[in-house]
Chain A
Amino acid sequence: MIKIMLTAALVLFSVAIAIALYRIISGPSLPDRVVAMDMIVVNLISAVAIISILLETKAFLEVILILGILAFISTIALSKYVERGVIIERKRNR
């Protein structure tokens, strides 16, 4: 029973990822695609958690944290590129 529920949750997460993928492909502007990428990583984190329950292992718990950190840093980098046009500044003029 629990296996059926977990598999159904995985299918629903993959549907959510597919919807976000549609937004990445046909998104009219760059910020749409950035938010869709962030949403894909959040769904991927949940999918990894469910897979680690299905495989009955604790070896993937670091993957969840690392994916969260990477999604945070990359979303900040992309949004800084959208806002300023430069990702790493030499000297801030303030």
Chain B
Amino acid sequence: MRKTNDLILQTVTKIVSFMIFMFALHIFFAGHNNPGGGFVGGLLTSGAIVLLLLAYDLKTVAGSLPIDYKILIAVGLLFAVGTGLGSLVFDVPFLTHAHDIFTLPILGETHLHTAVLFDIGVYLVVVGTTMTIIQTIGENE
């Protein structure tokens, strides 16, 4: 087999994957007032990991990102259910969300909403499911 060299692809990946991570984070937090949210953010994050998988191989990425994606799905579902159960503590129906304006030290007046916790659950489940599918297919010889 011909000797191949992926220097350009790996150098570009080192920069571009971080850009995709940052964009996914932006689109996740902008989801309340702009287009975006947990689903697209999770898909973009898994897109960045897929780019790492394309430039390197499965073992290298598993060494630098030691995450079991099946556990990530469970943690995401736990977040979503925990947000719903947390409303029962305050004697309101299941999945009732609360929001208020807080004054934080650096950020100033911030509108915090418990729907973000639910969205974190969606994000983790989407990343876990996509990466489980891709890794399971990629490991198959």
Given contacts A62-B27, A76-B54, 16 further A-B contacts (CB under 8 A): A62-B34, A62-B35, A62-B40, A69-B23, A69-B44, A70-B47, A72-B16, A73-B47, A73-B51, A77-B50, A88-B57, A89-B57, A90-B57, A90-B58, A90-B139, A92-B56
Given contacts A59-B34, A69-B44, contact A90 B59 (CB under 8 A): yes
**Counting CB contacts under 8 A, is A84 at the interface?**
yes
**Counting CB contacts under 8 A, is A82 at the interface?**
no
Within 8 A of A (CB), among B4-31: 4, 9, 16, 20, 23, 27
**Counting CB contacts under 8 A, is A83 at the interface?**
yes
1/0 per residue, CB under 8 A from A, across B49-88: the answer is 0110111111110000000000000000000000000000
* Interface residue total, chain A, C-beta cutoff 8 A: 19
- B residues with a Cβ closer than 8 A to A are 4, 9, 16, 20, 23, 27, 34-36, 40, 44, 47, 50-51, 53-60, 134, 137-139, 141
Q: Which residue of B lies closest to A90 (CB)?
A: B58
Per the bound structure, the CA–CA distance linking A59 and B29 in Å amounts to 15
Given contacts A62-B35, A66-B44, A72-B16, contact A92 B54 (CB under 8 A): no
The 6 closest A-B pairs by CB, nearest first: A88-B138, A89-B57, A92-B57, A91-B59, A88-B53, A90-B58
> Are B54 and A88 interface neighbours, CB within 8 A?
yes
Provide the residues of chain A in CB contact with B4, threshold 8 Å.
83-84
1/0 per residue, CB under 8 A from B, across A59-76: the answer is 100100110011011001
Q: Which residue of the partner chain, among B23, B50, B58, contacts A73 with CB atoms under 8 Å?
A: B50
Measured CB to CB, the closest approach of chain B to A5, in angstroms, equals 27
Provide the residues of chain B in CB contact with A73, threshold 8 Å.
47, 50-51, 54
> Are A92 and B35 interface neighbours, CB within 8 A?
no
Measured CB to CB, the closest approach of chain A to B52, in angstroms, equals 10
Provide the residues of chain B in CB contact with A59, threshold 8 Å.
34-35
